[in-house]
Amino acid sequence: QFRAEVSTIGTIQHVNLIRLLGFCSERTRRLLVYEHMPRGSLDRHLFGASSQGGVLSWETRYQIALGIARGLEYLHDKCRDCIIHCDIKPENILLDEAFVPKVADFGLAKLMGRDFSRVLTTVRGTVGYLAPEWIGGAAVTTKADVFSYGMMLFEIVSGRRNVGQRGDGAVDFFPATAVGMLLDGDLRGAVDCRIAGEADVAEVERACKVACWCVQDAESLRPSMGMVVQVLEGLVDVDVPPIPKSLKVLADPAKYVEFFSGLPST
């Protein structure tokens, strides 16, 4: 089964997906060999003082966001078997020499039939990017990746982790702040302060709308990654989304248990 699944992943060819070069299977040890990405992972360039290329420009960030969306669309809709990544975050996005993003770490246990007859109910992924249905125990579909992408998109815009701490010790949850700015019609404070003057206002608004639609509580309200690509390309316009209840909850940890205990479970 391992060889069959490796063979499936090995046939996946897309400019925004890391390429599998080979594998090794010896008794219980299994290794996958991927192409080398000289710029490292996206988190180093967003959150760290990376020595490779300095601060990412707005144009580069927007193209990275669009490239990731295209890669996920391919995994979800254009492979023979639907592949749900289950752990979309900046650490799993690698950059080549030209800062072209490559989605990495789409593992072997996430190959799904097109009818979603296999359901994923075991929680995997990273806290802060997990869709509510993971915690609620419901079956997971491609919309879980959409949620994680939305959370990551907020970080691409702001250049910082979504959860931080203000000077007074209070928790600062950026997605909730960004949604407030979106509703007020003024997103100047949402962009990484290091590049705020160069950001394209229309693209910032588009990105924040997409991010907010992606993190809707009900997966039926979240767009497909194909729709995300079309919106980011400027081919489709979207309205200002409703404020997800989960954003309010995550901004106030005291309400966390109350919210997730009310989610449907399998």
Q: How far is the CA of 204 from the CAs of 5, 16, 148, in angstroms?
A: 39, 22, 19
- CA–CA dist 90, 92 (Å, integer): 5
- Give the CB-side neighbour count of residue 95, counting CA atoms within 13 A: 22
Give the active site residue among 77, 87, 145, 237: 87
> What is the C-alpha to C-alpha distance for residues 232 and 207, in angstroms, rounded to an integer?
7
Long-range pairs of 119-127 with CB within 8 A, sequence gap ≥ 24: 119/266, 120/84, 120/86, 121/266, 124/86, 124/87, 125/86, 125/87, 126/87, 126/89, 126/91
Q: Are 87 and 41 in contact (CB under 8 A)?
A: no
43 included as an active-site residue = no
Which residues are the active-site residues?
87
